[in-house]
Structure 1
């Protein structure tokens, strides 16, 4: 019965999501927001059934490809997919409703909404897949749709460049996934999830391929520059991309294959160190940015690093819990930033804002709520997962360096969150006086309020539904238990002190225009400018030397040299004798004819 209900619900959701796309092609478009609302309500059926019964279901529709091993169209409903499905649909519903206000004047609004729907469907294909080929289709689907959505305003050069940058960095990660898929097919003769998980222990090579794939899709250190560059797309794209679709796909991949990764200590340590490095580096970069969307984007990278680190702690359920809670307040932060940007005539520099709490009270209140949830304020969504991750690290003996760097990142999270509130909401307005920010459209405020409710309740609801399989250490000293809150308060105090110094000091010392952190430690400059310049110089020199050797020296230059030498020698014997002139003419003619035939 449960299997039949899961199957019917998934089929209903697919039909609901596809209907607006088909009708738009037939020039009879159906409102995508209404369809998404209906799909969200339908998705609660398998969630409630799973909570009540705990039944895991695998639905196989039909055989797809018959090879050495059979590939089937099959979907799995387990803890992860049953919880992720309504979360992703609810967030996409809010973003689509906000899009109707934010991009109301765009002539291709309906096409943009269809792209968002396809983006969501690709992510749902990835999360419910029961074999690696279906997972790969969803994996590539979110990559393609992100390219189309980031370059939506394709008349802008930066938008096109950012979309290409995103797709190239993701192709690097795809190398690892394809390599792992090939290894698994050759050695296990299957791509079915359950059959692969039964083969343990797993060698390191395919596991490193999966980690590389996750690093590319989830923008871990080394493959991170595409994520802040993706802010060139419309704000609804940023909200969907950073909350519940593309960037969490890499983390979800590692969660799915954690039964294999958990058997290899080197793979776990790689995840731990990569996540710790990413979360700290991104937090440092967020602290020095002035673009409101890039601050939130680096915040996403930092939280993704925290999720990868949690997988390295051998706690995949905890990483998934952080995905669900993070999705709500991160989508809300992006929608709040979009509301502010739209009301300030597309101004994104936080130094040119200020005083927004009186003009946009709902937006700024929700932005403050999202920032508090991000810092792990007690009893908000982020508190239930982020603090639990740090407590797990405190009681782990794996890597002290990862613990210290994560503590530093937590402190920096509180600092850049307060900096964002300080510059955007407090003091007198620093924007143009002819701007008249307002909140009059329900499509502007209702999605933000809906996500704000999720940012308050999600942590409590999700943690009461799913808990990590490994029992957490409950007996710890008060200092260890309160460590996350203490370092967050330390970050807030330091940020307040720095903000006070910035506004009170007269004649501050001059600083460099381009510091290391504002330029992402010159990562883009070294990788995107100097490296191609060096390659171009080497290629130019090698080609120039080859052309000079084989073309000029053996061709026109040699003929010119021979003619000049003969002319110089013959000019000496220019005595007016017709025999000498005729011989010179004949020799030159013969040489030219022979050269032409050659």
Structure 2
């Protein structure tokens, strides 16, 4: 059994790597092969998953040591447990759908084969993170997703906004990466980098590596403080946004904390920090999403909000619940992005939801699927989001850890229903507000969109059936049981009421708090203010030092200062008239002599 699981997992890695090699070596590669590779890899990955679900096993696969050190030996080691074997098929399924969508969406791009190669490399880097059994291997995958996100966000490099967004992503992640490097260095020097050895230690670990882990997750998962890069990353092509926000990159931060949760759960301080950070992020991002008008930015901020919800669960000592939401969220978030990409493509690159409207008539299939995705995000009963989001809110409301954090999460749930309804109302209903003629839907993008829609509907039910054969009976007050549904319904009604009341009002100057959330708490302005002041100060200093002091001293003044002592040895006068006259006379004599000769 162990051999089957390990062999099939290695087959997936080799198969994907071979596919990338083909895209790199062939002059005109067939990009449909990449889509077929992902489909076959997904089918193969279901076999280890079904074996794991039936036998509930955990396998570790290690190579012989590659680097021999005094304290620890470094080798390639894969951990195949519930987390990795569950998430590998999800990542493959979503990437398969996104690559198929990309072939249609990016068909006019001259370097589409390179784009597909980048997407596959991105996936492999994420699979390395998921299956890594030591910190060094995890760090390789961690840096891999960072580099690939930089290349993909800045895909349209001729646009200055795309370059800025790519740099922003890499710089913010660098700040977080310092934390991961710190933790890895600390574990190398005082504990062990291998995860089994780490988890077997019972003593409370020092706060420093735990702070490093939270910092790493804050950067990668765009938690409050390092959040501005995620909405800015929308400058990349829509398939990149879909992959970045669903099953790679941003979930890597939360996955790191889920994987290393045994280290953190012994420290109450760090758990509280995760809880407060998650609650702040989820409410702030949800409030920001309401003030945005770009459809991709709204969905991007909803990702940050959902990641905040996962972080809150880690803070409440429920890592598997955070993982469940991470799995279900991947499907409906990829679907939301693909639907928005379909709208943008058919509206000739229009992203402002105020300039859409009436799309349910011209694009009925995409309209239906984006409605399902939005309802799943809201946590409507019996769609996949309900099984994770509803359970999270029930856990929060029945907990007495931190009432402020719990209240913030409930407010964020109401706000998530509001921004979802805002997208549905402004894009699909009412009369068209488009400037250009909309194109009709084509058949090509329907297959990946329908696949993800079926995943968004059924994955929650399938998870429930596979993991909870016997449902446990839990006694809970009716208000707590229905709290998630009540706050969601309140959000929907409030959103509809506000939309109807504001559309008939005369245009007004934006309120201060509206601008505050729209500009993401002015983080970009604040972040740029200090570097700009430093740059100007250093520029002024260097100018004054070089131009007014160095060049002056070594130039005219230096020459003067070296000549004056020599003059003083031959004459008592302080001026240099004699020097000049002598030089002048000598030059004339030499010239006359030469000419006479």
- After TM superposition, the score normalised by the length of structure 2 is 0.91
Tell me the distance in 2 between the aligned counterparts of 1:590 and 1:204.
79
Q: What per-residue deviation string (whole Å, max 9, x for no partner) do you get for residues 215-266 of structure 1? A: 1110011111111111111100000000000000000000011001001001
Q: 2:280 is matched with which residue?
A: 277
Q: CA deviation at 1:561?
A: 11
**2-side partners of 1:408 and 1:40: how far apart?**
38
Matched residue, 1:102: 105
Give 1:538's aligned residue: 537
Query: Is 1:360 aligned to 2:371, yes or no?
Result: no
2:151 match: secondary structure: helix
Instruction: Report SS of the residue matched to 2:394.
Output: helix
Shift of 1:541: 3.7
**SS at structure 2 position matched to 1:516:** helix
Q: 1:472 to 1:233 in 2, by over 3 A?
A: farther
Q: How does 1:520-539 map to 2 (within 5 A)?
A: 520-528=520-528, 530-539=529-538
Q: Which residue of 2 aligns with 1:250?
A: 253
Cα gap change, 1:331 to 1:581, in 2 (>3 Å): same
Q: Which runs of 5+ in 2 are unaligned?
A: 562-570, 584-597
Q: CA RMSD in A?
A: 2.5
The reply on whether 1:51 has 2:53 as its aligned counterpart is yes
| 1:476 Cα deviation from its structure 2 partner | 1.9
1:339 aligns with 2:342: yes
Name the structure 2 match of 1:111.
Answer: 114
Corresponding residue for residue 570 of structure 1 = none
SS in 2 for 1:62: coil
| 1:572-591 equivalence runs, <5 A | 584-586=576-578
Structure 2 partner of 1:41? 43
Q: String of CA shifts for 1:529-583, please: whole Å, max 9, x gaps.
A: x222211232234334434663377466868999xxxxxxxxxxxxxxxx99997
Alpha-carbon shift at residue 484 of structure 1 (Å): 0.9
Partners in 2 of 1:209 and 1:460 — Cα distance? 36
Q: Does residue 165 in structure 1 map to residue 168 in structure 2?
A: yes
Structure 1 residue 521: Cα displacement: 1.7
CA distance in 1, matches of 2:320, 2:194: 21
Counterpart in the other structure of 2:479: 479
Matched, 1:490 2:490: yes
1:23 aligns with 2:22: yes
Distance (Å, rounded) in 2 between the aligned partners of 1:549 and 1:262 = 60
CA distance in 2, matches of 1:561, 1:347: 68
**Structure 2 match to 1:10:** 9
Measure, in 2, the Cα distance between the counterparts of 1:225 and 1:202.
31
Aligned counterpart, 1:204: 207
Cα distance in structure 2, aligned partners of 1:234 and 1:294:
13
Query: Structure 1 CA distance, aligned partners of 2:408 and 2:169?
Result: 27
Write the distance in 2 (CA, Å) between the matches of 1:589 and 1:377: 99
**Is this contact kept in 1: 2:176–2:217, CA < 8 A?**
yes
Counterpart-to-counterpart distance in 2, 1:244 and 1:402: 26
Gap change, CA 1:275 and 1:582, over 3 Å in 2: closer
Q: After the TM superposition, which residues 221-370 of structure 1 pair with which residues of structure 2 at under 5 Å, given as runs?
A: 221-370=224-373
How far apart are the structure 2 equivalents of 1:184 and 1:350? 48
Whether the 8 Å contact between 2:122 and 2:148 is mirrored in structure 1 is: yes
For the residues of structure 2 that align with 1:266 and 1:472, how far apart are their CA atoms?
31
Quickly say closer, same or farther: Cα 1:387–1:552, change in 2 above 3 A: same
CA contact (8 A) 1:37 1:93 kept: yes
- Name the residue aligned to 1:67: 69
Report the Cα distance in structure 2 between the residues aligned to 1:274 and 1:484, rounded to whole angstroms: 21
Residue 155 of structure 1 aligns to a residue in which SS?
coil
TM-score scaled by structure 1? 0.91
SS in 2 for 1:64: coil
Give the deviation of 1:61 after TM superposition: 3.1
User: Does structure 2 conserve the Cα–Cα contact (< 8 Å) formed by 1:310 and 1:319?
Assistant: yes
8 A Cα contact 1:392 1:472, kept in partner: no
Aligned residue for 1:154, secondary structure, equals coil
Asked whether the equivalents of residues 75 and 129 of structure 1 are also in contact (C-alpha less than 8 Å), the reply is yes
Q: Is the 8 A contact 1:381 1:458 kept in 2?
A: yes
Runs of at least 5 residues in structure 1 that lack an aligned partner in the other structure: 563-578, 592-598
Q: Does 1:141 align with 2:144?
A: yes
Give the deviation of 1:440 after TM superposition.
2.4
Runs of 4+ in 1 over 4 A off after TM superposition: 552-562, 579-584, 587-591
Q: Deviations over 1:37-60 (max 9, x none)?
A: 111110000011011111111112
Indicate the SS of the match to 2:76: strand
Alignment of 1:114-125 (within 5 A): 114-125=117-128
> Which SS does the other structure have where 1:75 is aligned?
strand
Greater mean alpha carbon deviation, residues 171-180 or residues 12-21:
12-21
The CA deviation at 1:520 is: 1.1
1:427-506 matches, within 5 Å, as 427-433=430-436, 435-441=437-443, 443-466=444-467, 474-505=474-505
Provide the rounded CA distance (Å) in 1 between the counterparts of 2:383 and 2:359. Answer: 23
Q: 1:423 aligns with which of 415, 421, 426?
A: 426
The whole-number CA distance in structure 2 between the counterparts of 1:590 and 1:116 is 78
Separation in 2 of the partners of 1:379 and 1:107?
43
Q: Distance in 1 between matches of 2:510 and 2:178?
A: 42
SS at match of 2:222: coil
Q: CA deviation at 1:504?
A: 2.8
Matched with 1:186 is 189
Residues 231, 297 of structure 2: 8 Å contact kept: yes
> Is the alpha carbon distance of 1:560 and 1:346 closer, same or farther for their aligned partners in structure 2, counting shifts above 3 Å?
same
**SS of equivalent to 1:76:** strand
Q: Judging changes above 3 Å, is the alpha-carbon distance between structure 1 residues 270 and 589 closer, same or farther for their aligned structure 2 residues?
A: farther
* 2:346–2:441 contact (8 Å) kept in structure 1: no
**Secondary structure of 1:267's partner?**
helix
Is the Cα contact below 8 Å between 1:321 and 1:463 reproduced in 2?
no
Does the residue aligned with 2:119 lie in a helix, a strand or coil?
Answer: helix
Distance 1:260 1:472 in 2: 29
SS in 2 for 1:58: strand
Deviation at 1:584, TM superposition (A): 5.0
Cα 1:555–1:303 shift into 2, 3 Å: same
Q: Contact between 1:242 and 1:331, CA under 8 Å: does it hold in 2? A: yes
Question: Aligned partners of 2:323, 2:576: CA distance in 1, in Å?
Answer: 89
**Secondary structure at 2:536 match in 1:** helix
Distance 2:353 2:22 in 1: 41
- Deviates most, 543-552 or 23-32: 543-552
Question: 1:180 & 1:486 partners in 2: Cα distance?
Answer: 42
Shift of 1:472: 9.1
Name the stretch that deviates more: 337-346 or 61-70.
61-70
